[in-house]
Amino acid sequence: MLDQLNTLKEKALRELNAFTEVMQLAEWHKQYLSKKGELTQFLKQLGQLSAEERPIVGQAANEVKQSLKEFFDARQQSLQEEKLNQALADDEIDVSLPGRLYQRGRLHISTQMLRKINEIFSQMGFQIYDAPEVESDEYNFQLLNIPAYHPARDMWDTFWINDQVVLRTHTSPGQIRAMKEYHPNPIRVILPGKVYRYEQITPRSEHQFYQVEGLTVGHNIKMTDLIGVMTEFAHKLYGPARKIRIRGSYFPFTEPSIEIDMDCILCSGKGCRVCKYTNWLEVGGAGMVHPVVLRNGGYDPKEWSGFAFGLGVERPAMLKHGINDIRSFYGNDLDFIQQF
């Protein structure tokens, strides 16, 4: 009987070791170790043995049962490990690697500055007006009092789509669109957006950049209103200590036209490299809306007046963060972008 027991044990172990699937283990367990299993059946035969043999075979059978249980547990564990390692190798996932940081998006520095500017003018009651980046020659130039023959066209190097269509060189054509839409009501809008110039790219000039245009149309609007709004804007963006300076200038769509400067935010007007020892920084161009432009927008210049301005967006961001190369804004360099 002991031989029988040994044969049983050997058979069970041979099978156990040949298994390649965890599923097969349950079957094996049933076959050998369950109540109806072979070992239990074997134990039932003990009654037929003599009183001397019974304890010896009984003990041997119990030892076999115990060792089959241990082998079973060990095989179960090793099969599971084999399976896991195989799955890891197949999927090429190394669970022991530290996790990768989830990248969080952020607003581009130009967008941050645009939003700040939008917020300041919104507080002063300006609506935000969206205008297209691809414009007609008519809107980009002619309706802004810049006829085809006029030398003022030289102020804007232009990307032409065809004879009639351009990438807008400034946000000013949106003035005409706003006037045509709001006529005959008063207007107080800003027009933020991208503009394009056919220019050599250098640390100081890009072929694409942002502007924020402003336009008011109403009754009795005066140059002092324009200066007041610009002063308030400088105070809100750079702090209440800032001073504004006005210089006479020329733009075809405003009359009179002015250039707005602000005392240097770095040296407060003592002279430094940022202001190139002039003590002043350019904020933008502005003026009273030209009568021709008012008329082109549908407003009678005898009854209506207004002011307009055009502000840069990258320049103030460069000043604020000490960025000395405008190309960084469009270089897609994450190390640069993620600083802000």
Residues lying near ligand DAH in the complex (CB under 6 A) are found at 170, 172, 213, 251, 254, 285-287, 308-310
Determine how many CB atoms are found less than 10 A away from the CB of residue 264.
Answer: 23
Between 12 and 144, whose beta carbon lies closer to ligand DAH? 144
In angstroms, give the least distance from the CB of 316 to ligand DAH.
15
In angstroms, give the least distance from the CB of 156 to ligand DAH.
7
Helix 2-18 to helix 22-33 angle (10° resolution) is 170
Q: How far is CA 275 from the centre of its chain?
A: 32
Between 126 and 251, whose beta carbon lies closer to ligand DAH? 251
Measured CA to CA in angstroms, residue 137 lies from 242, 278, 327, 333 at distances of: 38, 37, 28, 34
In angstroms, give the least distance from the CB of 217 to ligand DAH.
12
Closest CA to 254 of 221, 277, 283: 221
In angstroms, give the least distance from the CB of 273 to ligand DAH.
25
Measured CA to CA in angstroms, residue 96 lies from 78, 87, 92 at distances of: 20, 14, 12
Between 16 and 293, whose beta carbon lies closer to ligand DAH? 293
Between 38 and 199, whose beta carbon lies closer to ligand DAH? 199
Helix residue ranges per DSSP H, the chain: 2-18, 22-33, 38-44, 53-91, 109-123, 137-140, 173-182, 223-238, 291-296, 314-321, 334-337
Q: Residue with CB nearest ligand DAH?
A: 310
In angstroms, give the least distance from the CB of 92 to ligand DAH.
54
CA distance 121 to 188: 10
Between 145 and 254, whose beta carbon lies closer to ligand DAH? 254
